[in-house]
Amino acid sequence: MFNEYFEKTKGKPLSTASDRDIYESLLSFTASHMQERGYNAGKKKLYYISAEFLIGKLLSSNLINLGLYGAVAEELKSVGKSLADIESIEPEPSLGNGGLGRLAACFMDSAATLGLPADGVGLCYHCGLFAQKFKDNKQTEQPDYWIEDKNWLNRTDTQYAVKFKDFTLQSRLYDLTVTGYGNKSNRLRLFDAETVSESIIKDGIAFDKKDVDSNLTLFLYPDDSDDNGKKLRVYQQYFMVSCAAQLILDEAVERGSNLHDLADFAVVQINDTHPAMVIPELVRLLTERGIDFTEAAGIVRNVCAYTNHTILAEALEKWPVKYLEEAVPEIMQITRRLDLMVKGADETCAIVQGDLVHMAHLAIHFSFSVNGVAALHTEILKNVELKKFYDLYPDKFNNKTNGITFRRWLIGANPDLTELIRSLTGDGFLTDADRLKDLAMYENDTDVLSALDTIKTKNKLRLKEFLMKKEGVVLREDSIFDIQAKRLHEYKRQQLNALYIIKKYLDIKDGKYPDRHLTFIFAAKAAPSYVMAKDIIHLILCLSKLVAADPVASKYMTVVMIENYNVSVAEKLIPACDISEQISLASKEASGTGNMKFMLNGAVTLGTLDGANVEIADFVGKDNIYIFGKSAKEVIDLYKSGRYNPRALYSKNADIRRAVDFISDTAMLKIGDGTSLRRLQSDLINKDYFMALLDFEDYSKTKDKAFADYEDRAAWARKTLVNISKARYFSSDRTVSEYNREIWKL
């Protein structure tokens, strides 16, 4: 079919075309098929408002969902072309930081697949998150342009005026079609500001932060380490929610709402606090259209639902009153009136406290549902972090454990495993993940276990080839691939992993060799102004160089930090993984979703009892996961008592001291920057806020055990089979169905 389309539209045979020609033609071919599907419709519609949609490349996933992937791949193959090569031309839209944005993208896929009328609403960033480049073993940031002349965005005629205090910006809506697997489509509605200009970007990702009309949608999360950066985020957020609110009301009226009954026509999911200003903005627009303030506030409360994705205090947004007053005084005024409506005895639940607006408090008071993203996380919200709100509104709180779309993370990323499962259980699991339970009957089938092992090796070879081209590193496919891929943050504890690597390196120097070659892979971006995170990247890159240059150590281990982690890299990395590192300090990782992707692809988790790891552990059982470290309760108590003392651990434990001391060893200082390495070392000894030293011993012991167990190849393959089978619960189809049944009611 594509062959014919190409010849007709291009006037030449496919076999003579360049990969770029084919890519651009495939894009229009696919887009026209998506148009034909039509859109999910209904009286009530969900608006999932999010500052991030980490959608990844779209060609393959669109072809998969249209059911055309296999046929197009075959057609291309028959004329000597490869769909994988063609796909590599597509630029990846990096419209997210990590899990929160990727979750939004998975939900879009599932909602369309389930036939729910559900649109995503966000911003059309010109560069998205920065592109990461390593220079002198350090992270640098570059703009990441992704919008080419030929792209997936549909420019619409929809425009809204967004009024700030001193000026008005005109928006423009761009739609991205999201087609369900074998179903109709929904849309991702991305707003841009007409006046934005890429020409103001200078020297990496620097630009004039005060020039709001030129810079508003240039980047995702501009560096907010200074006041102008913070103000810019307020402008961005208001622009996003004002466009969203205008769109929601216009569409609801079009579907027959008189606005008093808005809750019968629209539900808004507020994805973390970034879109929380949609609450006062909806109130403003409803009063502008003649509804009285108190009724408007009630309507909005019945329309909005809020998802919390973090308990880290520094990530819970609080905006200075004066920024809001400077940007949109009317919204500040409305927020104060809303605050008065909920003023009770407890000052700590107020929305406006002193000179700060607590965005999470605004979202909780004026939503009908508040959810956490994994069972443990929701319990911590209810009983610790948001306890006072839970006491006020016990019925609002609920849990929705995250999920991932199997279309991208299994069919797309791991075609061989998909084929094996299909041959064993039939096609059903592609739309009904529960069917993966049928895999359990093969637990003792040696043919199946050895097929799993063969597929893993094939995926390792694919990763090897990819990294050879991308970074010039050479991996060994007979090695154990131990992978930690996620945002760089101290609570996720990449530094703990690095300390283990140092220990292994020093053991090897002492003549204690591992049974098998070990490959430690990291992939992570650090926020541009996050000094400690950048120091950790520097440590890992220095270790990687040190090991590679050592003739003995390099025989037993390899350390790789992949540049510019993104969805496409994840799709290569995850299917090749043996051991999935999920080692956050217990109580700190709200859920994690990488943990689910790794298990679905047959990796075994090495992790703490944190976030969704707790549920993973419950499902797979203790023989099929490696758990270590202090519990969430122990950690929370330790914070409360203020008794954590890393220096005492450092003094007492020789293994810890040896690893920590090595960070500033002369061998390291020869490669790295002494200021950065010593700063990190001193932080670990004197502060170690996320308690890496506390869990070091248990982590080392447990990791050694996992490496030893890997040598019983059949037993290991059985663990991978159990993980794949039990991953069924973590399908985002299940999560989205729960949201719909209990919150959205579409």
Tell me which DSSP letter residue 584 carries.
P
Which listed residue (593, 613, 676, 681) binds ligand 26V by CB under 6 A?
593
The answer to whether 309 contacts ligand 26V (rule: CB under 6 A) is yes
- Tell me whether residue 272 or residue 581 sits nearer to ligand 26V (CB atom): 272
- Tell me whether residue 154 or residue 529 sits nearer to ligand 26V (CB atom): 529
The answer to whether 308 contacts ligand 26V (rule: CB under 6 A) is no
Q: What is the dihedral of CA 206, 211, 213, 216, to 10 degrees?
A: 30
Stretch that binds ligand 26V, among 99-107, 196-204, 341-349, 570-578 (CB under 6 A): 99-107
The answer to whether 313 contacts ligand 26V (rule: CB under 6 A) is no
Which listed residue (414, 591, 720, 731) binds ligand 26V by CB under 6 A?
591
Q: Which of 81, 492, 718, 726 is catalytic?
A: 492
The answer to whether 731 contacts ligand 26V (rule: CB under 6 A) is no
Q: Which of 377, 408, 486, 534 is catalytic?
A: 486
Q: Say if residue 553 is exposed, middle or buried (CB neighbours under 10 Å; 0-12, 13-18, 19+).
A: buried
Q: How far is the CB of 209 from ligand 26V (least distance, A)?
A: 17
Q: What distances in angstroms separate CA 409 from CA 48, 400, 602, 684, 687, one per listed residue?
A: 22, 20, 12, 36, 38
Q: What distances in angstroms separate CA 236 from CA 97, 176, 214, 653, one per listed residue?
A: 16, 20, 12, 49
- Tell me whether residue 313 or residue 345 sits nearer to ligand 26V (CB atom): 313
309 is catalytic: yes
Place of tokens 């003549």: 511
The answer to whether 100 contacts ligand 26V (rule: CB under 6 A) is yes
The answer to whether 447 contacts ligand 26V (rule: CB under 6 A) is no
Which listed residue (157, 166, 203, 314) binds ligand 26V by CB under 6 A?
314
Which listed residue (109, 272, 317, 695) binds ligand 26V by CB under 6 A?
272
33 is catalytic: no
Range 517-536, binding ligand 26V (CB under 6 A): 527
487 is catalytic: yes
260 is catalytic: no
- Tell me whether residue 414 or residue 593 sits nearer to ligand 26V (CB atom): 593
Biggest alpha carbon–alpha carbon distance for the chain? 80
Range list of H helices, 519-576: 531-548, 553-556, 567-573
Is residue 394 within 8 A of residue 420, CB to CB? The reply is no
- Tell me whether residue 103 or residue 685 sits nearer to ligand 26V (CB atom): 103
343 is catalytic: no
- Tell me whether residue 151 or residue 378 sits nearer to ligand 26V (CB atom): 378
Q: Which of 377, 408, 487, 493 is catalytic?
A: 487
CB-based contacts of 102, cutoff 8 Å, min separation 6:
54, 56, 96, 567, 593
Residue 119 pairs in a beta bridge with 47
Distance CA 127, CA 135 (A): 21
492 is catalytic: yes
Distance CA 291, CA 306 (A): 24
Tell me which DSSP letter residue 585 carries.
P
* Residue 597 backbone phi and psi in degrees, to 5: -65, -45
- Tell me whether residue 590 or residue 727 sits nearer to ligand 26V (CB atom): 590
Range 381-410, binding ligand 26V (CB under 6 A): 402
Which listed residue (179, 257, 310, 605) binds ligand 26V by CB under 6 A?
310
The answer to whether 611 contacts ligand 26V (rule: CB under 6 A) is yes
SS3 269: strand
CA neighbor of 696 nearest in space, from 606, 629, 625, 609: 629
Q: Which residues are catalytic?
A: 309, 486-487, 492, 593, 597
For ligand 26V, the binding residues (CB under 6 A) are 98-100, 103, 272, 309-310, 312, 314-315, 373, 402, 489, 527, 589-593, 611
